[in-house]
């Protein structure tokens, strides 16, 4: 198991920022920090920080995911076949556990943004699946890809791929 940080203190870790000015419907504005991982067992722990009103890309968790809100307010809206469903609001201290193969959803930081701890277990190594604005063309993201980008000093997904291209 590789430990990158010894603290989950948001002021004590290295952050990698992702923004997407090409996205016109969502304000893609987030930072993440890897805390540790184990490629062999399929485990990855990270911090995710969303700016006020900032979103992640449209995605679903393929890995079993524990979420603990450390600061602020996290808003999660599932996206079903009929469009967006009800928004769940999680506050500082709230804990959630999602099984593998969760529904596609949007995550957004509340008025003060949010910082969450994500602890993911992916036996097949796949953490997420990202979607385009039509919730189509799913693109899987593996632990190995996240770790490779981190070790290269880049932010995985900082520049979204064009149609037919791989992510940077």
Instruction: For each of the domains in the chain, give its residue range(s) and CATH number, in order of start.
Output: 2-151 (2.60.120.10)
How much is the pTM? 0.87
Q: Whose CA is closest to 48, among 108, 132, 112?
A: 108
| 3-state secondary structure (DSSP) of residue 124 | coil
pLDDT tens digits for range 49-64: 999 999 998 899 999 9
Cα–Cα distance for residue pair 47/9, rounded to 1 Å: 9
Cα–Cα distance for residue pair 129/126, rounded to 1 Å: 8
pLDDT at 160 over 50: no
pLDDT tens digits for range 64-117: 999 999 999 999 999 988 888 899 999 999 999 998 878 889 999 999 999 999
- The residue to which tokens 């393929």 are assigned: 62
pLDDT band at 34 (very low <50, low <70, confident <90, very high): very high
Q: What integer is the mean pLDDT of 7-36? A: 88
pLDDT tens digits for range 124-148: 999 999 888 888 788 899 999 989 9
**First CA to last CA distance, the chain:** 25
């Amino acid at each position: 198991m590789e430990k990158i940080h010894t603290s989950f203190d948001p002021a004590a870790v290295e952050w990698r920022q992702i923004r997407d000015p090409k996205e016109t419907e969502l304000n893609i504005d987030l930072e993440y920090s890897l805390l540790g991982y184990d490629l062999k067992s399929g485990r990855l722990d990270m911090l995710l920080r969303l700016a006020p009103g900032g979103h992640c890309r449209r995605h679903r968790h393929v890995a079993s995911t524990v979420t603990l809100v450390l600061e602020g307010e996290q808003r999660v809206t599932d996206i079903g076949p009929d469009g967006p469903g009800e928004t769940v609001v999680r506050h500082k201290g709230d804990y959630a556990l999602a099984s593998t193969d969760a529904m596609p959803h949007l995550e957004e930081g509340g008025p003060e943004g949010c910082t969450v701890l994500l602890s993911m277990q992916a036996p097949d190594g796949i953490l997420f699946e990202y979607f385009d604005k039509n919730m189509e063309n799913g693109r899987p993201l593996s632990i190995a890809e996240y770790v490779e980008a981190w070790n290269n000093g880049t932010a995985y997904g900082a520049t979204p791929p064009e149609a037919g291209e791989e992510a940077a």
